[in-house]
Amino acid sequence: MGTSGTRALPDFNFLCNTGIKFDLSNIPVKAYSDKNPLKTLRKQIGQLLIVGFEPAEVTAQVRALLARLLPSGVILFTRNIASPEQTYQLLQQCRADASTPMFTAVDLEGGRVDRFRNVIGPAPSAADVFATGDRRLFRKHGRIIGDTCRALGFNTNFAPVLDLALEASRTVMSSRAVSSEPKQVILYAREVLIGLHDAKVIGAGKHFPGLGEANLDTHHELPSVNKSLRRMWDEDIVPYRTMRRELPMVLIGHANYPAVTKDNLPASLSKKWITDILRKKIGYGGLIVSDDMEMGAVLKMAPIEQVAVEFVRAGGDLCLICRQEELVVRAYEALVKEAERDRRFARRVAESAARVLVSKQKSRALKGPMQPPTAEKVQHLTRRLWEFGEQIRLATIKQQELA
C-alpha cells in the first residue's frame, strides 16, 4: 500500500480538513502518510454508515459502539424518543465523540410515518396536505416538520416520498404517496424540500426507482415490479430525473425490477440501478442512501455482511442499519475486510467517503449549534401542528366543495 505509482486511498485527514469544493470525478489521491492505514480505512468506512440502536438512552454499550465505528450518523425511531428534552440530549451524547459532524436522522413524513406523534403531536399525512391543492401548504408542511425535527436535534429527515400513488401499492403506501401523476408528485415534493431546507434540515427523495407498483411491504418481503425501463423512465423515475439537482439525498428501495436488471436483486444492491442509471444516466450527484438493511426484503436474500458490501460495491454511499448492534458490527467488519482484500472496493469506499465528507462540509444543516427545546418551544410547536392540521382539514373541505 502507498508504494510509488500505485493508486492508494485518499488520506482521510485531507478529506476532513479541506475546505474546497470537490469535483468527485477528480478526487485527489495520494499515498498514505498515516502510520496506521487500517485506522484510516476504518474511519472512511464509518462515514458510510448511519446506524440505529434499541434503547432510548446512550448506554455504555451504545457509547462503545459509536466510539468504535465513528459512524456518519445515527437514526432514531419511536422506541428511542420519550420526550423532546430526552431526544435532544440523546442526540447530543451521540455527537460527543464524533470525528466529523453527524447526520442525525429520522423518518418524519406525517400521517402513518410520524415518530413525534406522542411527544409533540401528530402531523398531517402527505396525501392529506396534497389534497388541499395549495402549494403554500405543501411548503408549510415541510417547514413545520423541519422546525420540529430541528427543535429535537435532528438535521436530516428521510422525506419526501416520491413513489407514485398507483393502485398496486395502495394498501402498502396509502397516505404516504400523493399522486399517480409524476408532475404532481414533483410539485408537492419541491415545496416540501424548500420547507425542510428553510428549517435547516436535509431532505431525501425515496424510494428510488419507485414503489408505486410494488404490492408487498419491503419491511417483510421483496416485491417484484415487472415494468420496463422505458415505462419506469417515463413514469416512476420522472421525479428523480427532474429533481436530480434538488435532492440532497436519494434513498434506494428494496424492490426487484427483473425486466430492467434480468436478475432477482433488489435495486438497493444493483449496480445497474445505482451507478448506471441513477448516477450516470440521470446524472445524480448527491448522496445515495440505502433503505434499512435490516428489512426482510434484503435479509431474507443474504446475510448483512453481503448486503452491506454489495450496496457499496454497487455505488451506494450511506448504508442504513437501524436497530441491532450485532448486525451493525457485522456489516462494518465485513466492509473493512472486503476493502483490505480488494483494492478496487477500497477505492469505491474512498470515493463515497469523500462524497459524504464534502456533502457535510457544504451543508448548512450541519453547521451551527442547536438549542435545547424549552417547554415554551415545545408548546409552541404542538400548537403549530394542531393549527396546521386544522388548516389542512378546512382547506380540504373547501377543495371538495369547489370540485
What's the whole-number mean pLDDT along residues 5-24? 32
What's the whole-number mean pLDDT along residues 2-13? 31
Out of 11, 107, 128, 291, pick the active-site residue: 291
Over residues 35-92, the pLDDT tens digits come to: 566 788 999 999 999 999 999 999 999 999 999 999 999 999 999 999 999 999 999 9
Find out whether 370 and 95 touch, Cβ atoms under 8 Å. no
Cell numbers found for residue 4 = 510509488
- At 398 the pLDDT is 84
| Average pLDDT, rounded, for the chain | 90
Nearest CA among 190, 96, 92 for reference residue 141? 190
What's the whole-number mean pLDDT along residues 291-299? 93
Look up 219 and say whether it is catalytic: yes
- At 36 the pLDDT is 66
Is the pLDDT at 195 greater than 90, yes or no?
yes
d(CA 242, CA 289): 19
Over residues 321-349, the pLDDT tens digits come to: 999 999 999 999 999 999 999 999 999 99
- At 10 the pLDDT is 32
Report in angstroms the alpha-carbon separations of 372 from 41, 90, 117, 150.
Answer: 35, 11, 19, 10
CATH superfamily placement of domain 27-402: Glycoside hydrolase, family 3, N-terminal domain (3.20.20.300)
32-46, 159-173, 217-231, 334-348, range with the lowest pLDDT: 32-46
The pLDDT confidence band at residue 19, using thresholds 50, 70 and 90, is very low
Helix, coil or strand: residue 45: helix
Q: Which contiguous run of DSSP H or E holds residue 152?
A: helix 135-152
Helix, coil or strand: residue 14: helix
Is the pLDDT at 264 greater than 70, yes or no?
yes
33-47, 127-141, 302-316, range with the lowest pLDDT: 33-47
d(CA 160, CA 240): 12
Is the pLDDT at 115 greater than 60, yes or no?
yes
What's the whole-number mean pLDDT along residues 112-131? 96
- At 24 the pLDDT is 36
Find out whether 47 and 77 touch, Cβ atoms under 8 Å. no
Look up 254 and say whether it is catalytic: no
The pLDDT confidence band at residue 183, using thresholds 50, 70 and 90, is very high
The pLDDT confidence band at residue 23, using thresholds 50, 70 and 90, is very low
The pLDDT confidence band at residue 99, using thresholds 50, 70 and 90, is confident
Cell numbers found for residue 40 = 484510516
Cell numbers found for residue 235 = 413514469
pTM: 0.90
Is the pLDDT at 2 greater than 60, yes or no?
no
d(CA 399, CA 332): 51
- At 28 the pLDDT is 38
